Amino acid sequence: MRAMRAAVLLAACGLLAACGKERQVPAADEAPIPGSIADKVTRAVAAGPEWIAALATVDQWPLDDTAQFVVVRAASGSWTCFPDQPGTPRADPLCADDQFFRWLTAWRDHARTPQVNGMAVAYTLKGFQVASTTDPMKARPDSGQAWVELPPGVLIAMPDAAAYRGIAVKRPAAGPWVLWSGTPWAVMVVPMADVTIPVAATPAKK
């Protein structure tokens, strides 16, 4: 089990290392027209490392959960990028490999399980938003509650929940943790380097 956990973390480190090359940001006068196909493609592929950009299919997430994903740009690679997740307050693009695309399809369809048969990987280098840290099917936060901000990084879903043993189930000050732990939709969130959050000090024992 320790070897399995180490293999998952090692794979995550390799995926983050692939993000090291900085993107070339187009000049202001070269920016695509908002809402155009070029704009959707640019925003979508920004979720992943540069090597994904030319290889990924770009899909648009439909507003209706019963509808199919809309292909914005077809490509020959095994990655699919989305410019945004509808319903969230801000743009949160995502790039998914073929396994994580299956995970997303099942999640959108409210299936009982993700139905992945191998490690599923998604890049969220612009961050991502979810409605709940405990309920993967919650579409919106409860009244008065804020959206949960996930840091820029990588999401990893495994077909065997045992792979997550020993990894934090609540967000630590730094390092990976398991979102939606204890459900079939558990995913490991691997933040980018130098992403930290304040943690309250532990009271001293009397």
Q: What are the pLDDT digits (tens) for 73-127? A: 999 889 999 999 888 999 999 999 999 999 999 998 889 999 899 999 999 999 9
Tokens of 74: 């077809």
Q: Indicate the pTM of the whole model.
A: 0.79
Confirm whether 26 is domain-assigned.
no
Query: With bands split at pLDDT 50, 70 and 90, how would you rate the model's confidence at 49?
Result: very high
How many residues does this entry show for the chain? 206
Within a domain: 95? yes
In a domain, 14, yes or no: yes
Residue with tokens 């990084």: 153
Q: Which domain holds residue 180?
A: 2-19+83-191
Is 130 inside a domain boundary? yes
Q: Is residue 34 part of a domain?
A: no
What's the CA angle centered on 136, arms 133 and 142, to 5 degrees?
Answer: 65
Residue 198 within a domain: no
Distances 179 to 6, 22, 67, 149 between C-alpha atoms, Å: 18, 28, 27, 12
Please, which residues have CB within 8 angstroms of residue 11's CB and are 6 or more apart in sequence? 119, 156
Number of H helices, E strands in the chain: 4, 10
| Domain count within the chain | 1
Any domain includes 43: no
- Give the span between the Cα atoms of 121 and 190, in whole angstroms: 11
Domain assignment present for 58: no
